[in-house]
Amino acid sequence: MIKVGIVGGTGYTGVELLRLLAVHPQVQLTAITSRKEDGLPVADMYPSLRGHVNLAFSAPDKVDLTQCDVVFFATPHGVAMAQAPVLLKAGVKVIDLAADFRIKDLAVFEKTYKIPHTAPQLIDEAVYGLPELNRDDIKGANLIANPGCYPTTMQLGFVPLLKAGLVDAGNLIADCKSGVSGAGRKAEIGILFSESSDNFKAYGVSGHRHTPETVAQLQRFSKDKVNLIFTPHLVPMIRGMHSTLYARLTKEISNEELQKLFEDAYQDQPFVDVMPWGSHPETRSTRGANVLRLALHRPDNGNTVIVLVAQDNLVKGASGQAVQCMNLMFGLEEGTGLNNIALLP
Ligand SMILES: NC(=O)C1=CN([C@@H]2O[C@H](COP(=O)(O)OP(=O)(O)OC[C@H]3O[C@@H](n4cnc5c(N)ncnc54)[C@H](OP(=O)(O)O)[C@@H]3O)[C@@H](O)[C@H]2O)C=CC1
Ligand SMILES: CC(=O)N[C@@H](CCC(=O)OP(=O)(O)O)C(=O)O
């Protein structure tokens, strides 16, 4: 059994890890930290886990995480970088759901996140945890930088087009929407019920921290310089993310060939569903499941291709993806514990 520790067990991605790992056949949940809820049984806070998780939260300084085989950091940016060096030295694998190791360029990281990096020596060693694009490296990794939720949708939607050299890399547009759980479980005016329900707005339009992460990853697949306009929006739902991606075709290609390009790209990828041409993937069809659904459109058969992408921000956009990485790192079948179907309706 893999002994698992979770730092930040009270937050949304932390408890989503618990939901997935509590029924994972190869995992023994060993330690779950919370600074505020030291001693509280996990199931008292999250009754859905009654009968499945018998642990209590522990203050971070009261647990020895080096007894674990792998530690997930479901914490704000800056926490994993402080603890990863000691854990890695002790032979513990680390999966960070935050951004500490996602950006390889230290100056870009520090400018984007406005914090100094305290473990820059680990940045090169970290592997970007998007299995569909990085599977072999993840298998051999000790330190995973789990992707951001928006970047997952943008990469899986744009990469087949960029790889095939079919679109103008300098003119990519992503119009994305997230449910409110994307902002985490914290008290903040903008995510109060009265502010975010029955409401709809864009945010981060002049610059969002997911742009540099996404551009750097997309650039790996493009000969031409990538330029991305990314606009996130907050939608009045709890879970779910929908991205509408626009790219300009630069070569002659039929709709059938475009569809085949995506079907071929993802045919061996169990967690990416390429829907029939012209479909409309719904966030509801991904709720609680580690799946990303996408579909292609081309208005009036012109030179703009639109990729619609839907996922659950907490599962394929965060904790499910992290478990997918863990499975690969420990030589397990990639889908172990991740094959449940989305909620209906
Ligand atoms: N929500 C989402 O959809 C996604 C989130 N992410 C990323 O995952 C990470 C976690 O997000 P999310 O679960 O939403 O966040 P939450 O705000 O819901 O939870 C944060 C957790 O971290 C703990 N924590 C906070 N500060 C510290 C600290 N200094 N040391 C140790 N523990 C700390 C908190 O518990 P306590 O205060 O009790 O210690 C809490 O359990 C973030 O980096 C986020 O950007 C990535 C993809 C999607
Ligand atoms: C709705 C909402 O606020 N979403 C978050 C994205 C959460 C996430 O995936 O971001 P990181 O892991 O990179 O912090 C935001 O836009 O900041």
Q: Give the tens place of pLDDT for each residue, 57-107.
A: 999 999 999 999 999 999 999 999 999 999 999 999 999 999 999 999 999
Q: Pocket of ligand 2, candidates 16, 144, 149, 233: which has the most ligand atoms within 8 Å of its Cβ, to mutate?
A: 149
- Give pTM, 2 decimals: 0.97
Helices 149-163 and 131-139 pack at an angle, to 10 degrees, of: 100
Q: In CATH, what is the architecture of 149-313?
A: 2-Layer Sandwich (3.30)
318 by DSSP, 3-state: which? Answer: helix
Residue 172 tokens read as 């990519």
Share of the chain above pLDDT 70, in %: 100
How much distance in Å is there from the Cα of 149 to the middle of ligand 2?
A: 7
Residue listed under structure tokens 């985490």 = 184
The domain 2-125 is classified under which CATH number: 3.40.920.10, 1.10.486.10, 3.40.640.10, 3.40.50.720?
Answer: 3.40.50.720
How much distance in Å is there from the Cα of 90 to the middle of ligand 1?
A: 24
- Round to whole Å and give the CA distance between 206 and 339: 38
Q: Per-residue pLDDT for 19 more than 90? A: yes
Residue ranges, CATH 3.30.360.10, the chain:
149-313
As a whole number, the mean pLDDT across the chain is 97
Q: Where are the beta strands (DSSP E) in the chain?
A: 2-7, 27-33, 70-73, 93-96, 127-128, 143-145, 172-178, 201-202, 228-234, 241-248, 272-274, 292-297, 304-311
ipTM: 0.97
- Which residues line ligand 2 at a C-beta cut-off of 6 Å? 98-99, 148-149, 178, 182-183, 209-210, 232, 234
The ligand that comes nearest to the alpha carbon of residue 102 is 2
How much distance in Å is there from the Cα of 11 to the middle of ligand 1?
A: 5
148 by DSSP, 3-state: which? Answer: coil
Count of H helices and E strands in the chain?
10, 13
Q: Cβ contacts of residue 96 below 8 Å, gap of 6+? A: 72, 73, 80, 81, 84, 126, 143, 144, 145, 146
Please tell me the predicted confidence (pLDDT) of residue 345.
86
Residue ranges, CATH 3.40.50.720, the chain:
2-125
